[in-house]
Amino acid sequence: MFSIDDKDRKILQILQTDAMVPVAEIASQVGLSTTPCWRRIQKLEEEGYIRKRVALLDRAKLNVGVTVFVAVKATRHAVDWLDGFKRAIENIPEVIEAYRLSGEIDYLLKVVVPDIAAYDGVYKRMIECVEFADVSSSFAMEDMKFTTVLPLKYSE
């Protein structure tokens, strides 16, 4: 079993803050030479600690600055319903996150759109694909904290 050490954590911290940092700079910050640092990064990717490297885009500049949280209650709890729901949300690019929950709400979606009318279009596409017991939408008024940086102090 592969486990990470403090140098790996430092590498992950640097990369999750800015994946474009050159390997030589990461190596310098971590206290390694370039080749061993690159090998560690490759191993972290192979072991799944680094799932992918992406660019974070500006939602407002791309005209999807409205965030909607959609709470969904299923009509029934069955595999075929869940499969249909998964297919529906996978085919709607405005749904950028989806979670199955415990408690009164079955699923929570994060949707990004330019405005309420666009969200209405997303809602109509969803109800064309699957039946819901209840759908409740909340529009975010302000992004108070947004990060993709994970806490690494719990990793072993």
Nearest alpha carbon to residue 66 among 121, 125, 16: 121
Q: Which two tokens stand for residue 59?
A: 């939602």
Mean pLDDT over residues 48-66, rounded? 95
Q: Is the pLDDT assigned to residue 144 strictly greater than 80?
A: yes
Going by the DSSP 8-state scheme, the letter that residue 21 receives in this structure is S
The helix (run of H) or strand (run of E) holding residue 28 is: helix 23-30
> Strand 132-139's sheet: what is its strand order?
95-100, 107-113, 66-74, 132-139
d(CA 122, CA 99): 17
Return the percentage of the chain with pLDDT > 70, whole number: 100
Mean pLDDT across 48-63: 95
Mean pLDDT of the chain: 96
Confidence category of residue 1, pLDDT binned at 50, 70, 90: confident
Which pair of structure tokens corresponds to residue 100? 């199955």
Tell me the mean pLDDT in the region 6-31: 97
CA angle 135, 137, 140 (to 5 degrees): 160
Left (φ > 0), alpha (ψ -120 to 50) or beta: where does 132 sit? beta
Q: Are strands 66-74 and 95-100 parallel, antiparallel or unpaired?
A: unpaired
Question: What are the boundaries of each domain within the chain?
Answer: 6-46, 66-139
**109-129 mean pLDDT:** 97
C-alpha–C-alpha distance, residues 112 and 122, integer Å = 10
pLDDT at 130 (0 to 100):
93
- pLDDT over threshold 90, residue 156: no
Distance CA 154, CA 46 (A): 20
**pLDDT for the residue 2:** 83
**Which helix (H) or strand (E) covers residue 110, if one does?**
strand 107-113
What CATH fold (topology level) applies to the domain 6-46? Answer: Arc Repressor Mutant, subunit A (1.10.10)
Mean pLDDT for the stretch of residues 27-37: 97
- Residue length of the chain: 156
Fold of 66-139: Alpha-Beta Plaits (3.30.70)
pTM, whole model, 2 decimals?
0.89
Mean pLDDT value of segment 78-98:
96
